[in-house]
Amino acid sequence: MAETGAPLPPTSPAHSPLFRAEQFVWLTARVLEQRLFAYHFLNGAADPVETALDAYRNEDGGYGHALEPDLRGPVSQPLHTGHALHILDAIERCGGQRVDRVCRYLTSVSTPDGALPAIHPSQRGYPSAPFLPITDDPPSALLVTGPVVGLLHRNEVWHAWLFRATDFCWQAVESLEKSRPYEIEAAVAFLDSAPDRTRAEAAADRLGRMVREQRLAALEPDSLDTRPAPPDRAPDEHHFPHDYARTPRSLARAWFTDDEMARSLDHLVGEQQQDGGWPVRRRQWAPGTALETRPMATIEALRTLRAHGRHIG
């Protein structure tokens, strides 16, 4: 199976996806995303990204201050901290004392089975998205734990917190019977970096069959009008092959044919809007969060296209 879809014809630099996205980022993005864009696409350095990220770090080793825009307020949260690890991984700084501090924070907010809740009760009293409910005794969530564990394994981090959290991820992934797209994404993030590759490949193969049987991926992007989004999501909150297989190396790439992946990437290219940014498909609940999230989505779209060999400029 080929790793990428058919490349699009190059466009002139002034009209390339990258040039248009750059104008959008300088116009709308937070300092963190501006520096992250410069690192990924303009030969920027990693130090300015890490300096900007430090503004979101708290004394407990976690991250807060609306780093993940759907959670407002200063307190550290697993979702914020997972996003911080994603950034550190992207700039190849996911290690050393900074990650030791993160792991101590993760230990302090873990559930009794050693995993992470989606929202820690300390968020109570601060604004948050209505689809992220706050409870006093939150359950373990693969949605948050899977990507964090995967990132730490990929960077060869070893910490006591990882042992039970890894066991939780295996149990959660291998027991999935009926799932949701975001949970499948989290499972892939874990499996792509899990140390036991044979076990990961077997689990990924089963999840791929589930995605197709339960129609969790929109395989015909040109026919979305005949495939309404589930009632608990935004009207255009569909998931596509490229959402699961962010790179050709992902285990999820084997779930889709070359033609399906090519159509998915074509759709991603076509989603770039007139202002140069990509849309956020999930439900929007406040103007500020929508504005802050779109540059993040834009950077991820460009990285996905480039990873699959598409011309971005």
Residue-wise pLDDT tens digits, 74-93: 999 999 999 999 999 999 99
pTM comes to 0.92
- Whether residue 240 lies inside any domain: the answer is no
Confidence at residue 3, expressed as pLDDT on a 0 to 100 scale: 42
- Whether residue 67 lies inside any domain: the answer is yes
CATH number at residue 133: 1.50.10
- Whether residue 222 lies inside any domain: the answer is no
d(CA 53, CA 48): 9
Q: How many CB atoms sit inside 10 A of residue 122's CB?
A: 17
Tell me the C-alpha to C-alpha distance, in Å, between residue 273 and each of 268, 276, 278, 281, 297: 11, 5, 6, 13, 12
Task: Reduce the secondary structure of 169-205 to three states and give it as a string.
Answer: HHHHHHCCCCCCHHHHHHHHHHHCCCCCHHHHHHHHH
- Whether residue 231 lies inside any domain: the answer is no
pLDDT tens-digit series, residues 93-117 = 999 999 999 999 999 999 999 999 9
d(CA 264, CA 182): 17
Confidence at residue 8, expressed as pLDDT on a 0 to 100 scale: 45
Confidence at residue 2, expressed as pLDDT on a 0 to 100 scale: 38
- Whether residue 106 lies inside any domain: the answer is yes
- Percent of the chain at pLDDT exceeding 90: 87
pLDDT at 120 over 80: yes
Number of domains in the chain: 1
Which residues span the domain enclosing 50?
Answer: 17-215+274-307
- Whether residue 247 lies inside any domain: the answer is no
pLDDT tens-digit series, residues 31-79 = 999 999 999 999 999 999 999 999 999 999 999 999 999 999 999 999 9
- Whether residue 261 lies inside any domain: the answer is no
Helix locations, the chain, DSSP H: 17-28, 31-41, 46-54, 78-90, 96-109, 142-154, 160-174, 181-191, 197-213, 241-244, 258-270, 287-307
